[in-house]
């Protein structure tokens, strides 16, 4: 039985993700990514013509991974989708996040950089609305989670761990009360 052999695009994205974790997205160089992925710089540029396109590819890959993880958590019970979203997002917010410098640099180069994120968030919200009976509860939870994400991304997280845990616990209790 043969396993999946990663494409050069997959190798490049994996290498870029590893390097972004190690040095931060703002310090990512195309040469370093190509070297780590074991491809030529020309091969990297064929797949991602600019650093901004590479960053966009990383974001799209992250969104795909998040979507799959969310679907797996709620697969047995769609009514648990809101709780699964809160749990997964809270776990993510607890992890060390890279600086927003790479995101800001990519935005400066390509103002449409965040369009896939906007589309994903809108689709996610629509999916959660279809599966959550209390839309007001959903919107409050969604805004709190996205606020926590934004504070973390821009290194503005002023909450103490117990305050963040209290907010997450409250959201989960409300989500599970449906």
- The pLDDT of residue 99 is 59
- The pLDDT of residue 1 is 47
- Closest by CA position to 113, among listed 123, 122, 121, 104: 104
Domain ranges of the chain: 1-49, 51-176
| Termini Cα distance of the chain | 45
Question: Rounded CA gap, 178 and 176, in Å?
Answer: 5
Say which CATH superfamily domain 1-49 falls into: Homeodomain-like (1.10.10.60)
Whether residue 123 contacts residue 67, with contact meaning beta carbons closer than 8 Å, is answered with: no
pLDDT means per 10 residues, the chain with 178 residues, are: 76 89 80 93 92 85 90 83 93 74 67 84 94 93 94 88 96 89
- Joined tokens for residue 125: 């919200």
- Joined tokens for residue 33: 């990514």
- The pLDDT of residue 6 is 78
3-state secondary structure of 39: coil
């Amino acid at each position: 039985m043969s396993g999946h052999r990663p494409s050069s695009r997959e190798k490049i994205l994996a290498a870029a993700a590893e390097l972004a974790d190690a040095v931060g997205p703002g310090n990512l160089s195309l040469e370093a990514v190509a070297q780590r992925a074991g491809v030529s710089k020309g091969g990297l540029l064929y797949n991602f013509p600019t650093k901004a396109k590479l960053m966009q590819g990383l974001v799209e890959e992250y969104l795909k991974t998040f979507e799959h993880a969310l679907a797996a958590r709620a697969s047995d019970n769609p009514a648990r989708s809101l709780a699964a979203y809160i749990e997964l997002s809270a776990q993510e917010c607890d992890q060390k996040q890279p600086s927003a410098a790479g995101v800001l640099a990519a935005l400066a180069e390509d103002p449409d950089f965040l369009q896939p994120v906007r589309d994903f968030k809108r689709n996610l919200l629509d999916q959660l609305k279809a599966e959550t009976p209390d839309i007001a509860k959903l919107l409050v939870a969604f805004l709190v989670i996205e606020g926590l994400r934004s504070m973390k991304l821009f290194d503005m997280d002023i909450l103490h761990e117990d305050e963040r845990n209290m907010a997450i616990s409250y959201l989960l209790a409300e989500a599970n009360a449906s």
